[in-house]
C-alpha cells in the first residue's frame, strides 16, 4: 500500500528566508505526487503536481518541488517566504493509472509558521 | 477561480442521529469525492463517485455511510447513525479528467 511521510510536523522560518518541506513516499511504481496548502478556515488548495517528465515542477505562489526517484522524495521549496505563506502543507500521492483515480494518500501535514 | 462549496461549516449532532453533509462541486466536473480528517490525524480518503455510482470506497466507508447526487449540482454524504468516532472534518472534492482535485473548505462534524 502506498504511504506518505512528512517528517516535520512544525517548521518556523523568518520572512524572506528560504523554505524546504520534506516529503517521502512509498509506492511500487511512479506515482502521481501533489502538494496542497490549507490556510485556516480554507479548503485544500493545490500548489503543484508531478505526473511525469521534468522532475522539477513549478507551482503557484512561487513554490517548486523536485521529484527524486532514488530517494522516493518530493520536497517542496520556496526561495523567499512571505508571511502569507503561513499555513499547513500536505504532500499526497496517487497511484498512477489503475482504478484509484483521485484516491489520494496524504501525509501528516507540516505546519509552517513565519516570523516577521 | 471556481470553488467547491460545503455546507454547513460546522455541524453538531447527538450520537445515533443521522447527518447529511452537503457539497456543491464545480459545475463541469465529473468526479466527486469525500475525504475526512480526524483531529491530529491524516486526511483520509472515504469514497469516490463517478457516473452516478461509487467508483471506489475505503474500509472506513461502511454501511453507515452513503453518498448521493440528488440533482445536477449537489453531492451529499449521509451518516445514518453517527458515532463519537465520526467526529472529524469532512472535505468534499471534485475534479475533471486532469486529476486535479478541488477541495471545499470542509464541514466540521462534532458528535456528542
Q: Give the pLDDT of residue B98.
A: 64
Q: Give pLDDT tens digits for A72-83.
A: 999 999 999 999
Q: What does the pLDDT average to over A22-40?
A: 89
Q: Say whether B99 and A32 touch across the interface (CB within 8 A).
A: yes
> Which triple of cell numbers denotes residue A67?
521529484
pLDDT above 90: percentage of residues in chain B = 82
Q: Which of B45, B90, B93 to mutate to test the interface with A (most CBs of A within 10 A)?
A: B45
Q: Give pLDDT tens digits for B53-82.
A: 999 999 999 999 999 998 878 999 999 999
Q: Say whether A42 and B105 touch across the interface (CB within 8 A).
A: yes
Q: Which residues of A touch B42 (CB under 8 A)?
A: 106-109
Residue in A43, A102, A109 closest to B48 by CB: A102
Q: Say whether B91 and A43 touch across the interface (CB within 8 A).
A: yes
Amino acid at each position: 500500500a502506498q504511504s506518505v511521510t512528512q517528517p516535520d510536523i512544525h517548521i518556523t522560518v523568518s520572512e524572506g528566508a528560504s523554505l524546504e518541506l520534506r516529503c517521502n513516499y512509498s509506492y511500487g511504481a511512479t506515482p502521481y505526487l501533489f502538494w496542497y496548502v490549507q490556510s485556516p478556515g480554507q479548503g485544500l488548495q493545490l500548489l503543484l503536481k508531478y505526473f511525469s517528465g521534468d522532475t522539477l515542477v513549478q507551482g503557484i505562489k512561487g513554490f517548486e518541488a523536485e521529484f527524486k526517484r532514488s530517494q522516493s522524495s518530493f520536497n517542496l521549496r520556496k526561495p523567499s517566504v512571505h508571511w502569507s505563506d503561513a499555513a499547513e502543507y500536505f504532500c499526497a500521492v496517487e497511484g498512477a493509472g489503475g482504478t484509484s483515480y483521485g484516491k489520494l494518500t496524504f501525509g501528516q501535514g507540516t505546519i509552517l509558521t513565519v516570523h516577521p | 477561480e471556481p470553488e467547491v462549496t460545503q455546507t454547513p461549516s460546522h455541524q453538531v449532532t447527538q450520537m445515533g442521529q443521522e447527518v447529511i453533509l452537503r457539497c456543491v462541486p464545480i459545475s463541469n466536473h465529473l468526479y466527486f469525492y469525500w475525504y475526512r480528517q480526524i483531529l491530529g490525524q491524516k486526511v483520509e480518503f472515504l469514497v469516490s463517485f463517478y457516473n452516478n455510482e461509487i467508483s471506489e470506497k475505503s474500509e472506513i466507508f461502511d454501511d453507515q455511510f452513503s453518498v448521493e447526487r440528488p440533482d445536477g449540482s449537489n453531492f451529499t454524504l449521509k451518516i445514518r447513525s453517527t458515532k463519537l468516532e465520526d467526529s472529524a472534518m469532512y472535505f468534499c472534492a471534485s475534479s475533471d479528467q486532469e486529476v486535479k482535485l478541488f477541495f471545499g473548505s470542509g464541514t466540521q462534524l462534532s458528535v456528542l
